[in-house]
């Protein structure tokens, strides 16, 4: 929570948080961005409404044929559970996520890394009442009675707006509910291991001079990695041309091969520096040799 | 290490490649196990995989540390980071089973939370009493206040101008039998929603919660002011009491939970505001969940018990018994090694 920001890496966006496991390793969690959170919530909201509509239709059809008062009870209790329990019960499950969050690759976890208690999840989702349902119910009732004037509408929307936008006003993207529950929402997307880039099929045909390899640092190396993995022809051509120009190399027509080998050579060189404690973060850093 | 490797004319071998070759199988096994737990459940994992899980997790963690220090292959580091994160939450962040949680809630969590809220509960109770007194006095003073406090739909004909007979009927007339359960369900969902509101509103420095609790008391006072002057006070108290001891207690407790949050945010004491809010939120949530359970009981008592039992003394007896039961359950000292609600 109050840890200093991790070392300023150029690509570190504002959503990575240092998180030390009991084993002493920093997992560097990625928080869910406001956009993903909103999308997850919309999916859940649509799902809740869909379940409600379908269940209502089914129960009403049954009610007209059977006339059992038990159905009314089922509906009322069902509505209550759906409204208050959808988020809480799903997040209490092993996945720590509602269906919407699961689709968006999010998960609710305790900020201190401990077990999520049921209490935390109840608090987290009870606050939704104040954040969203209260003003909307208020607005809905007033509108149904025809007494909703501009002021009431503005007030309700303003109230909801303050709470809905609350995550944008703090660094950790916390809802009011998260704040009170001691939770936050992190991304947990299963990534498959990308293929190795630095594996030459045959012996390298090119060799690079010391000067050519001392042009760049880790940041450029990883940018190059991104370019190679994305595999877009024109960006590869642009990058290859830039490197050739800077290193005074001649164009041999094989951009991809050139970049792959340059990547491997640069990687070996930088890693060797790493092993003896010489990190070169980017091209502006001192190229000690 | 391999000093002979030079960037010139030798097959390049970066650290990541060696590293991947040595450990990829373990990472993939861990990934498969974690994926299986995520997709299905912990029960879907065979026993030897389960035993291997912590070891594989620690291997992956140490791989991550090594990779960060020796390798520049970002795909590898990203992969290990997400793998370790997912495994961490499966190992450390997982919930205890629903049954264990439920049992712990009833055995320790709930009474402990209520006990630790005793100061707030007292305030909440006093506010209710104050509300009752004020409501009673102002409606006695000027009957027009009744409509301002209670509202037409809630009053349902039980206003100061109603005759003794009408009022008596509302207390004792039996209702349609088949509607009783429906009525109970309605009362429960309605009251539980109010309880959740009064808890959640505590966030605004407890002010709305205090208003809600006082207003609740004022409504009761206003009704008393209608029934007591007509000589129906004894019957009315019995009518309220059969479920009211449970219901009012629940509302007082959910208000107390709201107070705890509001005061923790306003006056965090030695802790940071955030930490104080988290601690208060946890205790409050447990008490509030308990209040919802109490309201379920109250809904049954009100919807069914009160409509079936029309005898004043039975009503008093049940109400008193419930109150004593709750008080014993909450405040009876018990030997518990666990600290306040977890």
For residue B223, the distance in angstroms to the closest alpha carbon of chain A comes to 25
Place of tokens 């909703």: A148
Q: Does residue A190 sit at the B interface (CB-CB below 8 Å)?
A: yes
Q: Residues of chain A whose pLDDT is less than 70?
A: 1-13, 146-148, 198-205, 287-289
Residue A146, by phi and psi: left (phi above 0), alpha (psi -120 to 50) or beta?
Answer: left
Separation CA B42–CA B169 (nearest Å): 58
Report the residue of chain A nearest B77, measured CA to CA: A193
Rounded Cα distance between A198 and B171, Å, is: 85
CA–CA distance, B178 with A271 (Å, rounded to integer): 79
Residue-level length of chain A? 289
Question: What's the pLDDT tens digit per position in A49-86?
Answer: 999 999 999 988 888 887 777 788 888 888 888 888 89
In chain A, residues with a C-beta closer than 8 Å to the C-beta of B82 are: 188-191
Cα separation, A73 vs A80, in Å, equals 11
Q: Are A47 and A99 in contact (CB under 8 A)?
A: yes
Pairing of strands A106-110, A183-187: antiparallel
- Does residue A49 sit at the B interface (CB-CB below 8 Å)? no
DSSP string across A59-95: HHHHHHHH--HHHHHHHHHHHHHHHHHHHHHHHHSTT
What's the first-to-final CA gap in chain A, in angstroms? Answer: 39
Burial of A84 (0-12, 13-18, 19+ CB in 10 A): buried
Domain positions in chain B are 15-91, 99-331
* Chain A residues touching B20 at Cβ < 8 A: 193, 196
Q: What is the pLDDT of residues B13-40, one digit of tens each?
A: 666 777 888 888 898 999 999 888 888 7
Supply the DSSP string of B65-82, one letter for each residue.
HHHHHH---HHHHHHHHH
Cα A170 from Cα A193, distance rounded (Å): 33
Which is nearest to B193 in space by CA: A56, A192, A193, A129?
A: A129
Tell me whether residues B285 and A23 touch, CB distance under 8 A. Answer: no
CA distance B176 to B173: 10
- Both tokens assigned to B161: 């101008």
What's the token pair of residue A206?
Answer: 């090119």
Domain ranges of chain A: 29-187, 195-289
pLDDT at A289: 46
**Given this model, what pLDDT does residue B174 score?**
64
Residue A245 phi, psi dihedral angles, 5° rounding: -65, -45
Are B105 and B331 contacting, i.e. CB atoms less than 8 angstroms apart? no
User: What is the rounded distance in angstroms from the CA atom of residue A65 to the CA atom of residue B74?
Assistant: 63
Which of B151, B209, B285, B299 to mutate to test binding with chain A, by most A CBs within 10 Å of its CB? Answer: B285
Tell me the pLDDT tens digit for each residue of A97-112: 899 998 998 989 888 8
Give the pLDDT of residue A199. 61
Q: Which residue of chain A is at minimal alpha-carbon distance from B58?
A: A23
Summarised one tens digit per residue, pLDDT across range A194-205 is: 777 766 555 556
Question: H or E segment at A109?
Answer: strand A106-110
Low-confidence residues of chain B: pLDDT under 50:
1-10, 338-342
């Amino acid at each position: 929570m109050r840890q200093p920001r991790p070392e300023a890496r150029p690509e570190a966006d504002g959503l990575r948080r240092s998180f030390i496991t009991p084993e002493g390793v920093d997992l560097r969690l990625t928080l869910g961005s406001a956009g993903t959170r909103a999308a997850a919530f919309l999916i859940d909201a649509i799902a809740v409404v869909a379940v409600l509509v379908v269940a209502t239709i089914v129960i009403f059809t049954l009610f007209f044929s059977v006339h059992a008062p038990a159905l009314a009870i089922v509906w009322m209790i069902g509505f209550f559970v759906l409204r208050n329990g959808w988020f809480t019960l799903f997040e209490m499950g092993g996945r720590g996520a509602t269906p919407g969050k699961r689709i968006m690759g999010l998960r609710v976890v305790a900020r201190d890394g401990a077990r999520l208690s049921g209490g935390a999840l109840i608090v987290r989702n009870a606050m939704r009442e104040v954040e969203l349902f209260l003003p909307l119910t208020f607005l809905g009732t007033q509108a149904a009675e025809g007494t909703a004037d501009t002021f009431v509408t503005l007030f309700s929307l303003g109230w909801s707006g303050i709470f809905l936008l609350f995550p944008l006003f703090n660094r950790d993207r916390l809802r009011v509910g998260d704040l009170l529950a001691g939770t936050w929402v992190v991304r947990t997307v299963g990534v498959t291991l990308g293929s190795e880039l630095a594996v030459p099929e045959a012996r390298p045909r090119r060799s690079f001079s010391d000067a050519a390899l001392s042009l760049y640092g880790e940041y450029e190396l990883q940018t190059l990695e991104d370019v190679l993995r994305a595999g877009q022809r024109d960006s590869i051509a642009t990058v290859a041309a830039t490197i050739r120009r800077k290193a005074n190399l001649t164009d041999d027509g094989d951009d991809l091969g050139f970049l792959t080998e340059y990547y491997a050579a640069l990687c070996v060189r930088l890693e060797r520096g790493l092993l003896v404690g010489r990190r070169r973060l980017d091209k502006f850093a001192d190229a000690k040799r | 290490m391999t000093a002979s490797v030079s960037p010139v004319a030798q097959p390049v071998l970066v650290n990541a490649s060696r590293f991947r070759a040595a450990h990829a199988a373990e990472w993939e096994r861990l990934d498969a196990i974690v994926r299986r737990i995520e997709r299905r459940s912990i029960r879907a994992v065979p026993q030897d995989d389960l035993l291997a899980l912590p070891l594989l997790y620690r291997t992956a963690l140490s791989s991550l540390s090594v990779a960060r220090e020796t390798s520049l292959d970002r795909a590898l580091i990203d992969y290990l980071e997400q793998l370790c994160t997912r495994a961490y939450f499966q190992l450390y962040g997982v919930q205890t089973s629903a049954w264990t949680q439920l049992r712990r809630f009833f055995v320790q969590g709930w009474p402990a939370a209520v006990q630790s809220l005793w100061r707030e509960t007292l305030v909440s109770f006093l506010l209710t009493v104050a509300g009752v007194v004020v409501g009673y006095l102002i409606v006695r003073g000027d009957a027009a206040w009744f409509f301002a406090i209670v509202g037409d739909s809630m009053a349902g004909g039980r206003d100061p101008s109603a005759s003794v007979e009408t009022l008596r009927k509302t207390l004792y007339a039996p209702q349609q039998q088949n509607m009783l359960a429906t009525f109970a369900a309605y009362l429960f969902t309605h009251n539980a929603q109010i309880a959740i509101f009064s808890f959640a509103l505590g966030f605004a420095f407890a002010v709305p919660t205090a208003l809600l609790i006082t207003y609740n008391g004022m409504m009761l006072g206003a009704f008393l002011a209608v029934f007591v002057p007509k000589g129906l006070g004894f019957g009315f108290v019995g009518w309220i009491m059969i479920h009211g001891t449970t219901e009012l207690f629940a509302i007082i407790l959910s208000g107390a939970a709201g107070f705890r949050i509001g005061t923790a945010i306003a006056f965090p004491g030695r802790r940071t505001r955030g930490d104080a809010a988290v601690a208060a939120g946890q205790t409050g949530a447990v008490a509030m969940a308990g209040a919802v359970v109490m309201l379920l009981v109250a809904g049954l008592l009100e919807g069914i018990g009160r409509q079936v039992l029309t005898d004043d003394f039975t009503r008093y007896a049940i109400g008193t018994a419930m109150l004593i039961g709750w008080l014993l359950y909450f405040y009876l000292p018990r030997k518990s090694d666990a600290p306040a609600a977890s």
